[in-house]
Amino acid sequence: MGQSQQVDSLCDVLKFVRPFWPVGPRYKAIRGQPINPNPLSMNAERLLVISSLVFLFAVCACSSDEGVRERATQAAQEQAAKGNPEVAPSAANTLPVAGTIMLQVQGGEVEKGQEVCLPLTARQFHQVVSMQYTLEWDPSVLAFKGIRNMRLPGLSKDNFGTHLTSQGKLTHAWYDLNVQGIDLPDGATLFELCFEAVGEPGAQTTFRFSDNPTLIEVSNAQSALLEVVQVPSIVKIRP
């Protein structure tokens, strides 16, 4: 294999792994059981990743894709600066805030014993690259049953952590595999949440987005954060 072929192969490897490694620790945290990583080993791991990327950039010299190289370098630096996402507060994030995004779970009234699927909709969903949060509700009013009608590219059940749904918490993390940013019209449904109404008549619950355990964070294609504006929604069991 000639030198040019080696360079091309390294570039191909870099382009393939680039979308996956930045969200590694955070993504593993929401998919399965809680993790408690050692901060020292995590920092060493981040430094190793950054060093490896710098070496690849020096060898590859991917002149045909400057944007890929710059975005990967920036992503590596940002990920190292964020620290442990399971213990760091949202305010610790140093990325600039470029705008807002509105998220809402559709509310309404349901009969006791009824199964209902509630759309989660978004407004101002422009060039979104990644999104994560914890959704909370009262499990004594609504018992979680599942997720359906997933409409974001690449979104599947693997993007949701359901191990806390008996406590009224659903964790979620998604990112655009192409790192180009996704645009959706205002009011678009991202997915639907299905529940059984188990509360007594007259009981109600409010849906809210929280940082516990998965931090609220939405970013766009310009590596800036979007502030999440929560639109209140209530589901009530009919008297």
pLDDT, tens only, 134-176: 999 999 999 999 999 999 999 999 999 999 999 999 999 999 9
What pLDDT is attached to residue 82?
Answer: 44
Q: Tokens for 118, please give them.
A: 């509630």
Enumerate residue ranges in the chain where pLDDT < 70.
1-94
Let me know the angle formed at the C-alpha of 82 by 53 and 43, rounded to the nearest 5 degrees.
Answer: 60
What pLDDT is attached to residue 54?
Answer: 39
Taking Cα atoms as reference points, which of 20, 228, 68, 218 lies closest to residue 128? 218
DSSP label at residue 22: G
* Distance (Å, whole) CA 218 – CA 174: 10
Average of per-residue pLDDT values in the chain: 74
pTM (2 d.p.): 0.64
What pLDDT is attached to residue 95?
Answer: 77
Q: How large is the angle between the packed helices 66-82 and 3-17, nearest 10 degrees?
A: 50
